[in-house]
Amino acid sequence: MKRNTAMVILAAILIAASSVLYLLRSQPAQGRRVLIVSTTTSLFDTGVLDEIEEAFEAEHPVDLRFISVGTGLAIEHARRGDADMILVHAPTRERAFLEEGYGVCRKIIAYNFFAIVGPGNDPAGIGGLPPTEALHRIVEAGRADRAVWVSRGDDSGTHSKEKGLWAAAGYDWEDLRDEDWYRESGTGMGRTLQIAEELQAYTLTDMGTYLKYAKEELITSEVLVGEGEALINVYSAIATNPAANPDANFEDALTFIEFLTSNEGQAIFAGYGADAYGRSLFLPAVKLLRERTDPVIAAWIEGFAYIDGSECPPEYRAGREDLYG
Protein backbone atom coordinates (compact mmCIF):
# COMPACT_ATOMS: atom_id res chain seq x y z
CA MET A 1 0.00 0.00 0.00
CA LYS A 2 1.90 3.04 -1.22
CA ARG A 3 1.73 6.74 -0.47
CA ASN A 4 -1.42 7.83 -2.28
CA THR A 5 -3.46 4.97 -0.87
CA ALA A 6 -2.23 5.73 2.65
CA MET A 7 -3.23 9.39 2.22
CA VAL A 8 -6.72 8.37 1.14
CA ILE A 9 -7.04 6.14 4.20
CA LEU A 10 -5.90 8.97 6.48
CA ALA A 11 -8.48 11.28 4.95
CA ALA A 12 -11.16 8.67 5.45
CA ILE A 13 -10.15 8.28 9.10
CA LEU A 14 -10.47 12.03 9.64
CA ILE A 15 -13.92 12.10 8.05
CA ALA A 16 -15.10 9.08 10.00
CA ALA A 17 -13.77 10.49 13.27
CA SER A 18 -15.53 13.78 12.64
CA SER A 19 -18.79 11.98 11.97
CA VAL A 20 -18.86 10.40 15.42
CA LEU A 21 -18.15 13.57 17.38
CA TYR A 22 -21.85 14.33 17.61
CA LEU A 23 -22.38 10.98 19.32
CA LEU A 24 -19.45 11.59 21.65
CA ARG A 25 -20.88 14.97 22.65
CA SER A 26 -24.39 13.62 23.20
CA GLN A 27 -25.97 14.14 26.60
CA PRO A 28 -24.88 11.84 29.43
CA ALA A 29 -27.19 10.46 32.09
CA GLN A 30 -28.65 13.04 34.45
CA GLY A 31 -26.12 14.32 36.95
CA ARG A 32 -23.10 13.13 34.94
CA ARG A 33 -20.66 14.97 32.70
CA VAL A 34 -18.80 13.95 29.53
CA LEU A 35 -15.02 13.83 29.14
CA ILE A 36 -13.78 13.21 25.60
CA VAL A 37 -10.38 11.57 25.47
CA SER A 38 -8.51 11.24 22.19
CA THR A 39 -6.27 8.22 22.61
CA THR A 40 -3.65 6.22 20.78
CA THR A 41 -4.97 2.94 19.41
CA SER A 42 -2.64 0.74 21.47
CA LEU A 43 -4.24 1.79 24.76
CA PHE A 44 -7.71 1.34 23.31
CA ASP A 45 -7.26 -1.87 21.33
CA THR A 46 -5.64 -3.77 24.19
CA GLY A 47 -8.65 -3.18 26.43
CA VAL A 48 -6.80 -1.52 29.31
CA LEU A 49 -8.95 1.59 28.94
CA ASP A 50 -12.07 -0.51 29.53
CA GLU A 51 -10.84 -1.41 33.02
CA ILE A 52 -9.73 2.15 33.68
CA GLU A 53 -13.08 3.51 32.50
CA GLU A 54 -15.05 1.15 34.74
CA ALA A 55 -13.03 2.05 37.81
CA PHE A 56 -13.00 5.80 37.15
CA GLU A 57 -16.70 6.11 36.33
CA ALA A 58 -17.62 4.20 39.48
CA GLU A 59 -15.96 6.91 41.56
CA HIS A 60 -16.75 10.06 39.56
CA PRO A 61 -19.90 11.47 37.90
CA VAL A 62 -18.10 11.54 34.55
CA ASP A 63 -18.68 9.49 31.41
CA LEU A 64 -15.44 8.80 29.53
CA ARG A 65 -15.79 8.78 25.76
CA PHE A 66 -12.79 7.73 23.69
CA ILE A 67 -11.67 8.63 20.18
CA SER A 68 -9.22 5.88 19.19
CA VAL A 69 -6.76 7.03 16.53
CA GLY A 70 -3.01 7.33 16.00
CA THR A 71 -1.14 9.88 18.09
CA GLY A 72 -0.96 12.42 15.25
CA LEU A 73 -4.74 12.43 14.81
CA ALA A 74 -5.31 12.32 18.58
CA ILE A 75 -3.34 15.54 18.90
CA GLU A 76 -5.14 17.06 15.92
CA HIS A 77 -8.53 16.37 17.54
CA ALA A 78 -7.44 18.29 20.63
CA ARG A 79 -6.04 21.14 18.51
CA ARG A 80 -9.42 21.46 16.80
CA GLY A 81 -11.24 21.51 20.13
CA ASP A 82 -12.79 18.06 19.65
CA ALA A 83 -11.16 16.44 22.70
CA ASP A 84 -10.73 17.48 26.32
CA MET A 85 -7.45 15.61 26.72
CA ILE A 86 -5.15 13.16 24.97
CA LEU A 87 -3.37 9.89 25.77
CA VAL A 88 -0.39 9.59 23.43
CA HIS A 89 3.14 8.21 23.01
CA ALA A 90 5.25 10.49 20.83
CA PRO A 91 7.32 12.90 22.98
CA THR A 92 8.44 15.12 20.10
CA ARG A 93 4.83 15.67 19.04
CA GLU A 94 3.82 16.18 22.67
CA ARG A 95 6.44 18.89 23.09
CA ALA A 96 5.05 20.73 20.08
CA PHE A 97 1.50 20.39 21.45
CA LEU A 98 2.61 22.07 24.68
CA GLU A 99 4.77 24.72 23.05
CA GLU A 100 2.03 25.72 20.61
CA GLY A 101 -0.26 26.43 23.57
CA TYR A 102 -2.74 23.60 23.05
CA GLY A 103 -1.80 21.35 25.97
CA VAL A 104 -1.00 21.60 29.66
CA CYS A 105 -0.35 19.38 32.67
CA ARG A 106 1.50 16.57 30.89
CA LYS A 107 2.01 13.48 33.05
CA ILE A 108 3.85 10.30 32.12
CA ILE A 109 1.55 7.43 33.08
CA ALA A 110 2.98 4.15 31.77
CA TYR A 111 5.52 2.52 29.51
CA ASN A 112 6.33 -0.68 27.67
CA PHE A 113 8.55 -1.49 24.73
CA PHE A 114 8.31 -1.56 20.99
CA ALA A 115 9.42 -4.67 19.15
CA ILE A 116 10.25 -5.64 15.61
CA VAL A 117 8.19 -8.71 14.78
CA GLY A 118 8.15 -10.90 11.71
CA PRO A 119 7.71 -14.40 10.32
CA GLY A 120 9.21 -17.27 12.24
CA ASN A 121 11.56 -18.21 9.39
CA ASP A 122 13.07 -14.69 9.66
CA PRO A 123 14.20 -14.31 6.02
CA ALA A 124 16.33 -11.24 6.82
CA GLY A 125 18.07 -12.95 9.74
CA ILE A 126 17.43 -10.20 12.30
CA GLY A 127 16.70 -12.27 15.39
CA GLY A 128 18.44 -10.90 18.47
CA LEU A 129 20.19 -8.05 16.66
CA PRO A 130 20.27 -4.41 17.80
CA PRO A 131 17.46 -2.43 16.11
CA THR A 132 19.69 -0.46 13.72
CA GLU A 133 21.50 -3.58 12.49
CA ALA A 134 18.18 -5.39 12.15
CA LEU A 135 16.83 -2.58 9.96
CA HIS A 136 19.95 -2.70 7.78
CA ARG A 137 19.33 -6.38 7.17
CA ILE A 138 15.65 -5.83 6.41
CA VAL A 139 16.57 -3.21 3.79
CA GLU A 140 19.09 -5.56 2.19
CA ALA A 141 16.61 -8.45 2.17
CA GLY A 142 13.82 -6.21 0.88
CA ARG A 143 15.90 -4.97 -2.01
CA ALA A 144 16.76 -8.60 -2.81
CA ASP A 145 13.03 -9.50 -2.83
CA ARG A 146 13.41 -11.65 0.26
CA ALA A 147 11.52 -9.50 2.78
CA VAL A 148 8.65 -7.02 3.16
CA TRP A 149 8.21 -4.28 5.74
CA VAL A 150 4.78 -2.93 6.75
CA SER A 151 4.72 0.56 8.26
CA ARG A 152 1.79 2.11 10.11
CA GLY A 153 2.19 5.11 7.80
CA ASP A 154 -0.44 6.96 9.81
CA ASP A 155 1.45 9.66 11.74
CA SER A 156 0.94 7.67 14.96
CA GLY A 157 3.33 7.39 17.87
CA THR A 158 4.49 4.02 16.56
CA HIS A 159 5.03 5.53 13.12
CA SER A 160 7.06 8.37 14.68
CA LYS A 161 9.18 5.82 16.53
CA GLU A 162 9.72 3.87 13.31
CA LYS A 163 10.90 6.97 11.46
CA GLY A 164 13.33 7.69 14.28
CA LEU A 165 14.72 4.16 14.11
CA TRP A 166 15.22 4.42 10.34
CA ALA A 167 17.07 7.71 10.85
CA ALA A 168 19.26 6.15 13.55
CA ALA A 169 20.10 3.37 11.08
CA GLY A 170 21.14 5.95 8.49
CA TYR A 171 18.10 5.83 6.19
CA ASP A 172 15.70 8.51 5.00
CA TRP A 173 12.20 7.20 5.58
CA GLU A 174 10.85 9.32 2.72
CA ASP A 175 13.16 7.49 0.31
CA LEU A 176 12.40 4.03 1.65
CA ARG A 177 8.64 4.40 1.31
CA ASP A 178 8.98 4.58 -2.48
CA GLU A 179 10.59 1.13 -2.65
CA ASP A 180 8.41 -1.88 -3.47
CA TRP A 181 9.27 -3.92 -0.37
CA TYR A 182 8.19 -1.07 1.94
CA ARG A 183 4.40 -1.03 2.43
CA GLU A 184 2.16 1.34 4.39
CA SER A 185 -1.05 0.23 6.06
CA GLY A 186 -2.38 3.68 6.97
CA THR A 187 -4.24 2.12 9.87
CA GLY A 188 -4.03 1.13 13.53
CA MET A 189 -1.61 -1.27 15.19
CA GLY A 190 -3.88 -4.28 15.29
CA ARG A 191 -4.77 -4.13 11.63
CA THR A 192 -1.13 -3.43 10.72
CA LEU A 193 -0.11 -6.62 12.54
CA GLN A 194 -2.72 -8.55 10.58
CA ILE A 195 -1.51 -7.11 7.27
CA ALA A 196 2.06 -8.03 8.19
CA GLU A 197 0.80 -11.53 8.96
CA GLU A 198 -0.90 -11.78 5.57
CA LEU A 199 2.26 -10.64 3.78
CA GLN A 200 4.65 -12.59 6.05
CA ALA A 201 6.31 -9.25 6.64
CA TYR A 202 8.23 -7.43 9.35
CA THR A 203 6.73 -4.51 11.29
CA LEU A 204 7.27 -2.38 14.38
CA THR A 205 4.69 -2.84 17.12
CA ASP A 206 4.07 -1.92 20.72
CA MET A 207 4.28 -5.02 22.91
CA GLY A 208 0.82 -4.56 24.41
CA THR A 209 -1.02 -4.87 21.11
CA TYR A 210 1.29 -7.65 19.91
CA LEU A 211 0.70 -9.79 23.00
CA LYS A 212 -3.07 -9.39 22.74
CA TYR A 213 -3.21 -10.34 19.07
CA ALA A 214 -0.77 -13.22 19.49
CA LYS A 215 -2.70 -14.61 22.48
CA GLU A 216 -5.94 -14.47 20.51
CA GLU A 217 -4.18 -16.33 17.66
CA LEU A 218 -4.88 -13.51 15.22
CA ILE A 219 -1.20 -13.50 14.24
CA THR A 220 1.74 -15.91 14.28
CA SER A 221 4.48 -13.28 13.92
CA GLU A 222 7.32 -13.64 16.41
CA VAL A 223 9.22 -11.04 18.41
CA LEU A 224 12.65 -10.91 16.78
CA VAL A 225 14.05 -7.68 18.23
CA GLY A 226 12.65 -6.46 21.52
CA GLU A 227 13.19 -4.24 24.56
CA GLY A 228 16.29 -2.16 25.20
CA GLU A 229 16.70 1.61 25.42
CA ALA A 230 16.16 2.22 21.70
CA LEU A 231 12.72 0.58 21.88
CA ILE A 232 11.30 2.26 25.00
CA ASN A 233 7.66 3.30 24.56
CA VAL A 234 6.30 5.95 26.93
CA TYR A 235 2.65 6.96 27.36
CA SER A 236 1.57 10.41 28.55
CA ALA A 237 -1.67 12.15 29.44
CA ILE A 238 -2.09 15.83 28.50
CA ALA A 239 -5.05 18.10 29.20
CA THR A 240 -6.31 20.47 26.52
CA ASN A 241 -5.36 24.02 27.48
CA PRO A 242 -8.54 25.93 28.45
CA ALA A 243 -6.86 29.13 27.22
CA ALA A 244 -6.83 27.63 23.72
CA ASN A 245 -10.22 25.94 24.02
CA PRO A 246 -12.50 27.54 26.63
CA ASP A 247 -15.10 24.82 26.01
CA ALA A 248 -12.73 22.03 27.08
CA ASN A 249 -13.76 20.08 30.17
CA PHE A 250 -10.52 21.00 31.91
CA GLU A 251 -11.45 20.17 35.49
CA ASP A 252 -12.58 16.64 34.69
CA ALA A 253 -9.52 16.15 32.49
CA LEU A 254 -7.34 16.94 35.51
CA THR A 255 -9.42 14.63 37.67
CA PHE A 256 -8.84 11.83 35.17
CA ILE A 257 -5.10 12.55 35.03
CA GLU A 258 -5.01 12.42 38.84
CA PHE A 259 -6.74 9.03 38.67
CA LEU A 260 -4.33 7.67 36.07
CA THR A 261 -1.37 8.66 38.22
CA SER A 262 -2.92 7.52 41.52
CA ASN A 263 -2.07 4.25 43.21
CA GLU A 264 -5.34 2.81 41.95
CA GLY A 265 -4.79 3.86 38.36
CA GLN A 266 -1.18 2.69 38.36
CA ALA A 267 -2.25 -0.67 39.80
CA ILE A 268 -4.56 -1.18 36.82
CA PHE A 269 -1.64 -0.71 34.45
CA ALA A 270 0.55 -3.00 36.56
CA GLY A 271 -1.95 -5.82 36.60
CA TYR A 272 -3.54 -5.57 33.19
CA GLY A 273 -2.91 -8.67 31.11
CA ALA A 274 -0.79 -10.50 33.69
CA ASP A 275 -3.22 -13.40 34.06
CA ALA A 276 -4.15 -13.71 30.38
CA TYR A 277 -0.75 -13.08 28.81
CA GLY A 278 1.72 -14.04 31.50
CA ARG A 279 2.98 -10.47 31.77
CA SER A 280 1.52 -6.99 32.09
CA LEU A 281 0.85 -5.25 28.78
CA PHE A 282 1.78 -1.89 30.29
CA LEU A 283 4.08 -0.97 33.16
CA PRO A 284 3.31 1.84 35.64
CA ALA A 285 5.68 4.79 35.45
CA VAL A 286 4.79 7.14 38.30
CA LYS A 287 6.52 5.43 41.23
CA LEU A 288 9.39 4.35 38.99
CA LEU A 289 10.17 7.96 38.08
CA ARG A 290 9.47 9.39 41.53
CA GLU A 291 11.52 6.86 43.51
CA ARG A 292 13.79 5.56 40.73
CA THR A 293 13.00 1.97 41.71
CA ASP A 294 14.81 0.87 38.54
CA PRO A 295 17.41 3.54 37.80
CA VAL A 296 18.24 2.13 34.36
CA ILE A 297 14.64 2.14 33.08
CA ALA A 298 14.00 5.51 34.73
CA ALA A 299 16.99 6.96 32.87
CA TRP A 300 15.73 5.50 29.58
CA ILE A 301 12.31 7.10 30.09
CA GLU A 302 13.85 10.43 31.05
CA GLY A 303 16.17 10.40 28.07
CA PHE A 304 13.40 9.56 25.63
CA ALA A 305 10.34 11.31 27.01
CA TYR A 306 11.37 14.19 29.26
CA ILE A 307 11.07 17.73 27.92
CA ASP A 308 13.84 20.08 29.04
CA GLY A 309 14.58 17.80 31.98
CA SER A 310 10.98 17.34 33.15
CA GLU A 311 7.86 15.40 32.25
CA CYS A 312 6.22 18.83 32.04
CA PRO A 313 8.21 22.08 32.19
CA PRO A 314 6.80 24.55 34.77
CA GLU A 315 5.45 26.96 32.15
CA TYR A 316 3.01 24.28 30.94
CA ARG A 317 1.63 23.19 34.30
CA ALA A 318 -1.30 25.66 34.44
CA GLY A 319 -0.64 26.32 38.11
CA ARG A 320 -1.09 22.67 39.07
CA GLU A 321 2.25 22.16 40.79
CA ASP A 322 0.57 19.60 43.05
CA LEU A 323 0.72 17.13 40.15
CA TYR A 324 4.52 17.27 40.22
CA GLY A 325 5.35 17.12 43.91
Q: Percent of the chain at pLDDT above 90?
A: 87
Q: Please check the confidence at residue 10 and state whether its pLDDT lies above 60.
A: no
**126-130, 163-167, 225-229: the lowest-pLDDT one:** 225-229
Residues 119, 227 within the same domain: yes
Average pLDDT rounded to a whole number, residues 102-127: 98
Residues 165, 17 within the same domain: no
Residues recorded for the chain: 325
Residues 55, 201 within the same domain: no
DSSP 114-126: EEEEE-TT-TT--
* Last-in-domain residue among 231, 264, 280: 231
Residues 185, 279 within the same domain: no
Residues 9, 94 within the same domain: yes
What is the count of structural domains for the chain?
2
Residues 300, 283 within the same domain: yes
* Last-in-domain residue among 203, 231, 259: 231
Can you give the pLDDT at residue 177?
95
Confidence of residue 7 (pLDDT cuts 50, 70, 90): very low
Residues 223, 117 within the same domain: yes
Backbone dihedral angles phi then psi of residue 5, each to the nearest 5 degrees: -65, -45
- Angle, vertex CA 298, rays to CA 224 and CA 83, nearest 5: 85
Mean pLDDT of the chain: 92
Residues 100, 238 within the same domain: yes
Assess contact for 239 and 103: CB atoms under 8 A. yes
Q: Please check the confidence at residue 6 and state whether its pLDDT lies above 70.
A: no
Domain extent at residue 106: 3-111+234-324
Assess contact for 223 and 23: CB atoms under 8 A. no
- Tell me which residue of 14, 48, 38, 43 sits closest to 86, measured CA to CA: 38
Residues 95, 117 within the same domain: no
Average pLDDT rounded to a whole number, residues 229-239: 97
Residues 193, 272 within the same domain: no
CATH of the domain at 266: 3.40.190.10
* DSSP single-letter state for residue 307: B
Residues 63, 150 within the same domain: no
* Last-in-domain residue among 182, 207, 231: 231
Q: Please check the confidence at residue 288 and state whether its pLDDT lies above 60.
A: yes
Please give the Cα distance from 288 to 284 (Å, whole number): 7
Residues 132, 272 within the same domain: no
Average pLDDT rounded to a whole number, residues 311-315: 97
